[in-house]
Amino acid sequence: MMGNLNHIEETPLILIADDDETIRVLLRRVMEQEGYRVAEASDGTTCLESFARLQPNIILLDARMPGIDGFSCCLQLQSLPGGDRTPILIVTSLEDRASVDQAFQAGASDFITKPIQIAVLRHRVRRLLKTGKVVDELRRQTEREQLLRTLLLRQMRESPSLDEVLNTTVSEVRHFLEADRVVIYKFSYSKDAVVVSEAVQPMLPSLQQTIAYANWFAEKRELYNRGHVVSTPDLNQADLPLSMIKFLQQAQVQAALEVPILLEDSLWGLLVAHQCTQPRQWFPFEIDALEQLAGQVALTIRHTILYENLHKLTQRLHLLATLDGLTQLANRRRFNEYLQQEWRRGAREQTHLSLILCDIDFFKGYNDSYGHQAGDECLKQVALAISQATRRPADLVARYGGEEFAVILPNTSVEGALYVAEEIRIKVKALGIQHDTSSVDRSITLSLGVAGIVPHHDTSPVTLITAADQALYRAKLEGRDRVVLQAHAEI
């Protein structure tokens, strides 16, 4: 994007394309007297090759050359990378209106006639170089604005990820500046800084997982806090702490541009560009672009923090709305949601879905004898034991009623569900919670009903619940403290 930046940094390069050696010598001498660098081409083909290789600032192109003439060459130059931005001065012996029109139609910026008037040539070249610089500056301004728009659009997307935004920012900035490395530092409470995002040239060392210590920024921190940019064209001449110099040498940094990222008037971090191949003068438009980007990054960080806090609050509210306050299991609402979800999935994938309904035997008598506080503690211990018997993340344990619990087992056959149910029964009984008023055992026990089905779209989860409830009813009728399976034929 910044291929013509060298036009400003270095002495302008003039490409002279003319088959007349005498003319080329004359033009070279004049241009070199003006302080320009000069390259030559003796025909149109060589001119095209030289342009692609050298990327000159301006081309002096003879209209009449063997092979590819000046007009055709000018036209072809427009299709080469950078050709449409490079001024072309056609040198011609023709002054008729048709030739002038042909020159401009081919893409020429201006023309000059033979015999060449040196003063006119010098003036035209200076004017075209100045115009080229203005065009380059406008183009870079447009690119900068486009970059800002692109990043802003990314940041305005629904539910933006901060990591994604930061990674996009460093990548776009490195491309925009043609820098060797761009990083975003985040300051910690200790005022040390860590790299949270990086875009770096291959073969250069990465700064990820490295720490920039607080004392390195001590002298500049007040500047950062006021939003000032720190531009260092040559780090070899900078007055920096010795430890920081060693760190930058290891990172092969020779020039740096540091732009603060301020969040609510406090320093959050830095947007930093590194040049590693050579010292570099940072231009005002580059500094301005990074300042604007740092402001956009700060807005995004604020937006992301607000979004993440809102998301956490929403999740917390949803959790509270679907959680049983006493046992911390899923509540009846969550049970219904999850059963519907797994029913649809089972119908779609034609997989087994099993359900276990559990009931604490003679729990009313336990409450009456030991009190509601003891009853609540009993429910919590039973809930924990049931949860420990279900090991898969997809299994859901819910409080189904007062002393009733339910276990949804996706992708589980009735054989598997029977195994889980028996393990639940054994674990609860092993708790040894005293229950002297029970007619089954002197400790808390469970009755469990099991049912399983492969769901179909033309049935509903009520079918499965009814079957498990019937099995639970039979378990109670048959003496409690047992597991009963509802036969497939009855579902």
CATH number of the CATH domain containing 113: 3.40.50.2300
pLDDT of 4: 37
- 172: CATH: 3.30.450.40
Q: 228-232, 266-270, 274-278, 307-311: which range is least confident on average?
A: 307-311
- β-pair type (404-410, 353-360): antiparallel
Q: Residue 11: left if φ>0, alpha if ψ -120 to 50, beta else—which one?
A: beta
Give residue-wise pLDDT tens across range 114-137.
Answer: 888 888 888 888 888 887 776 676
Q: Which residue has the tokens 């990043």?
A: 151
Q: Which of 92, 124, 139 is the last residue of a domain?
A: 139
Residue 285 shares a structural domain with residue 355: no
Residue 341 shares a structural domain with residue 426: yes
- Mean pLDDT (whole number) for 160-169: 79
The encoded tokens of residue 97 equal 């209106």
pTM to 2 decimal places: 0.46
Residue 183 shares a structural domain with residue 304: yes
- 338: CATH: 3.30.70.270
pLDDT of 425: 96
313 assigned to some structural domain: no
Residue 193 shares a structural domain with residue 118: no
Give the HSE-up count for residue 471: Cα atoms under 13 Å, Cβ half-sphere: 31
Residue 93: give the domain boundaries: 6-139
Higher-pLDDT residue of 356 and 190 is 356
Residue 392 shares a structural domain with residue 265: no
- Mean pLDDT (whole number) for 178-189: 91
Q: How confident is the model at residue 1 (pLDDT cuts 50, 70, 90)?
A: very low
Residue 293: pLDDT over 90: no
- Mean pLDDT (whole number) for 12-19: 90
Residue 304 shares a structural domain with residue 336: no
Give residue-wise pLDDT tens across range 369-406.
Answer: 999 999 999 999 999 999 999 989 999 999 998 999 99
226 assigned to some structural domain: yes
- Number of domains making up the chain: 3
Contact 303, 160 (CB under 8 A): yes
Distances (CA, A) of 161 to 84, 197, 255, 294: 39, 13, 31, 17
Q: Which residue has the tokens 């030559």?
A: 40
Residue 342 shares a structural domain with residue 483: yes
Residue 126 shares a structural domain with residue 187: no
Residue 7: pLDDT over 50: no
Higher-pLDDT residue of 384 and 489 is 384
pLDDT of 265: 78
Residues that are catalytic: 403
Residue 337 shares a structural domain with residue 463: yes
pLDDT of 489: 40
pLDDT of 213: 83
Q: Which of 124, 139, 154 is the last residue of a domain?
A: 139
pLDDT of 153: 58
Q: 128-137, 364-373, 437-446: which range is least confident on average?
A: 128-137
Residue 347 shares a structural domain with residue 408: yes
Q: Fill in the amino acid letter for 351.
A: T
Residue 101 shares a structural domain with residue 172: no
pLDDT of 323: 86
Q: Which of 308, 340, 355 is the last residue of a domain?
A: 308
Residue 271: pLDDT over 50: yes
Residue 444 shares a structural domain with residue 371: yes
Percent of the chain with pLDDT strictly greater than 90? 44
